[in-house]
Amino acid sequence: MSDVLTADEVRRIGLNLCGFDDERQDRVRDKKNRERFHAHCGTSPLVVAVIWEDLLTTDLEAASVDPEEDGTCIDHLFWALCFLKCYPVENVAEGSMKVCDKTFRKWVWFYIRKLYALRKLKIVMPKKWRTRFIFSVDGVHCPLNEPMHGEYSKNPAFMSHKFRSAGLDYEIAIDIFNNNCIWCNGPYRAGKNDISVFRDKLIHEIPLGKLVVADLECRRERSVVTTPSSHDAKEVREFKSRSLAKHEKFNGKVKNFKSVSGRFRHGIKKHGLCFHAAVVVCQHQLENGSPLDPV
């Protein structure tokens, strides 16, 4: 397909859009250009090239992109990734991208919805498990502008105990022995505790006889959850510690996107789109040069 691009082509086009012309790119080392690219898009040129190819070639209609039919191009995907990574206000974005705010807004949300739709292909629960311990699970809280409440100045249902202000909660599961995010659920109001979120859907996905690793907030579901314990043998404690550390590293990748880690301005529904889109980008990273540490 003629629209498919190499990582080098993606890097050059992306940095040109961000204000680094060919001359400036050629004056520095590749490492510097990779750092510039990552600072604006939150990932590597290779990952963006793979995402672009996935959007062009997927059979999933909700995620498919046809440049001739849609009137789009790789530039618009860059705008969406820069929005996810840097979360600029539109008046700043239209100056740096040299495009009007309406056009920027149109294509940013077009591609965020496309990335969101890709989750059905990239964030997938395995049908069979070969080991007893299958995945780790943890909640991620994200700041949110204070939602309206009919009586109080603050809505207690959204209160996050992690940063003592309004937020949303997402549930992520990571395959313990493979390099995959296999579950992303939410958003939930941050006032809802992790065990309630776990009981809502994910607990029903765990096969009989299998165990998942979680922190102490989920300890009340001992039939399917194992948590850190001082009574464990040394090898078991280390295994649980490595599993949860691996999970935290993935959470860190997601929080690298300021639309997720910063205080969100665009409402709950669009925050859900952005969070799941960021998780899809991070899963592409795991598959293309940035894996998690093995357990």
The predicted pLDDT at position 89 comes to 92
- Whether 126 is covered by a domain: the verdict is no
Are 112 and 140 part of one and the same domain?
A: no
CA–CA separation, 41 and 103 (whole Å):
19
- Whether 248 is covered by a domain: the verdict is yes
Helix (H) or strand (E) holding 199, with range, is helix 194-200
Q: What's the whole-model pTM score?
A: 0.95
- Whether 294 is covered by a domain: the verdict is no
* Percent of the chain predicted with pLDDT > 70: 97
CA–CA separation, 34 and 11 (whole Å):
8
Are 93 and 173 part of one and the same domain?
A: no
Residue 268 has pLDDT above 60, yes or no: yes
Digit-coded pLDDT (tens) for 187-223: 999 999 999 999 999 999 999 999 999 998 888 999 9
Find all residues with CB under 8 Å of 29, minimum gap 6, and list them: none
Domain boundary among 85, 117, 149: 117
Are 277 and 137 part of one and the same domain?
A: yes
- Whether 128 is covered by a domain: the verdict is no
Q: Is the peptide bond before 187 cis (omega within 30 degrees of 0)?
A: yes
Residue 150 has pLDDT above 80, yes or no: no
Max Cα-Cα span within the chain: 62
Count the domains in the chain.
2
Q: Which domain holds residue 81?
A: 7-117
SS3 250: helix
CA–CA separation, 83 and 3 (whole Å):
23
pLDDT grade for 2, boundaries at 50, 70 and 90: low
Are 137 and 111 part of one and the same domain?
A: no
The residue to which tokens 């910063």 are assigned: 262
The predicted pLDDT at position 161 comes to 86
